Structure 1
Amino acid sequence: MSDILDTFFNAAIAAQVLPFLADGLFITLQLSLLTIPLGLAGGLALALLHSQSGSRACRIAVNVYVDFFRSFPQLVLLIFVSFATPFLGIDLPPILSLAISFTLSTSAYYCEIIRAGIQSVPGGQTEAARSTGMSTVQALIHVVLPQALRNVTPDLIGNSVEIVKATSIASVLGMSELLYNAQSAQSVLFNPTPLTLAALMYLALLWPVVRLISTLEGRRRRRH
């Protein structure tokens, strides 16, 4: 038992690397706060474009976009954006490469979630709003979208949790996020305790959010 503790839960090593991992956690939070709103905004725009556009070609284009980026590996997309753009004469900093690749990828997932939420709102809601004198846009903003987003809130939060964990691929660009710092410390100290500590940090960060998702899903099931 003592050997396991010394190997995976070494208190001295944990105290030594904690500030280093805390810096990595801060970078992870920064990346998450950058990429989640961008992906959410992109997904909302795509969902509205698909659901509100009267053009069949426009809906097909959105479907192709969503299917492509949901199928394309996120890590490969990040590498492509980061290392292929210099050949086009564009030298992007790592943070911008990550933002672009994550926005392209995550907006496809958010689009599907939001589109499902819009489809869950009965069409009579829009007609009722229009009968009160609202325009189509006003009915969408004040009646349809609030209900749609409320219906899919657990799914939106769940997807955001996955994005937080996916920011670890930023390590391929040398960005010192949490997992990158943990791996660096592990390679120097020849002990997996930094990885264990990083896992506990992820758990402490995301466990309350996962419990929130479960609570919201329970409320949604009772409501329906």
Structure 2
Amino acid sequence: MPLIRPFGINEFWIIVLAAQWTIALSAIAFAGGGIGGLLIALMRVSDAKWPRRIATGFIRVFQGTPLLMQLFLVFFGMNILGFAINPWLAATVALTLHASAFLGEIWRGCIEAVPPGQREAATALGLRYYNRMRYIVLPQASKIAVAPTVGFLVQLIKGTSLAAIIGFTELTRQGQIINNATFSPFMVFGTVAAVYFVLCWPLSVLARRMELRFSRATAR
């Protein structure tokens, strides 16, 4: 019979320190997803047909399938194909692709929220697609995008918990390991939930305040 140890301060700090891997995974996936999302958003509003179709297909695949399945496909699929991939890299790739699809669609909506007259005026001035986006559309769309982008970051942080299923030792996985040793699920997962709350709640408040501030600014 395995030895069950009590849940104490050491176990508490092990769980808290595991949050650094959740933060690191979220930050990398968000940064990579930001680059991919901007590319997808620009393809979605492109004047050319094929970029729009490719971006639409990408979004449909990653928004229409569960994140858990995407993690499985990247981790087990790459290993089956003969590419040795560890849980850290697999989680990073899957979450980056996931974030690219969602941020791309969020930012596409923000770009299209810019009044059409702005694009028409830029076109009348002879600005090409790149310059229209860089100097006219994207600076305005970025202000609209701040609140929903921060809101998505909250969802991404919580989504990293699914990486535990492929063996990546982040916050949730560390909680499972501690629970197996202490058999104190209420204390263990209560602590895990509290750490997620500390990470996500300030961002949720920030997103709501930004959205309210933008609503007031546009109402003036």
RMSD: 1.9
Distance 1:146 1:66 in 2: 24
Q: Matched residues in 2 for 1:206 and 1:178: separation?
A: 13
Per-residue deviation at 1:136? 3.6
User: How far apart are residue 150 of structure 1 and its match?
Assistant: 1.1
Structure 1's 60 and 130: CA in aligned 2 closer, same or farther, altered over 3 A? closer
Q: Structure 2 matches for 1:43-54, cutoff 5 A?
A: 43-54=37-48
2:130 aligned residue (128, 131, 137):
137
Letter in 1 for 2:34: L
Report if the CA contact (8 A) 1:110-1:156 is conserved. yes
CA–CA distance in structure 1, aligned partners of residues 99 and 105 of structure 2: 10
Assess if the C-alpha contact under 8 Å between 1:117 and 1:152 holds in 2: yes
Percent identical residues: 29
C-alpha contact 2:46 2:52 (8 A) present in aligned 1:
no
Separation (CA, whole Å) in 2 of partners of 1:14 and 1:159: 34
- Deviation >4 Å, runs of 4+: 129-135
Which of 67, 72, 82 in structure 1 is aligned with 2:75?
82
- Determine the structure 2 residue equivalent to 1:206: 200
Moved more, 163-172 or 92-101: 92-101
CA distance in 1, matches of 2:75, 2:214: 41
Q: Match of 2:182?
A: 189
TM-score (normalised: structure 2): 0.88
Unaligned runs of 5+ in 1: 1-11
* Map 1:153-168 → 2, pairs under 5 A: 153-168=146-161
Unmatched runs of 5 consecutive residues or more in structure 2 = 1-5
Q: Distance in 1 between matches of 2:68 and 2:106?
A: 22
Displacement of 1:119: 0.4
Shift of 1:133: 7.0
1:61 Cα deviation after fit: 2.3
CA contact (8 A) 1:14 1:193 kept: no
1:181-214, Cα deviation, whole Å (9 max, x unpaired): 1122122111121211111111111111111111
Quick one: distance in 2 between partners of 1:94 and 1:149?
33
Contact 1:13/1:193 (8 A) holds in 2: yes
| TM-score, length basis structure 1 | 0.87
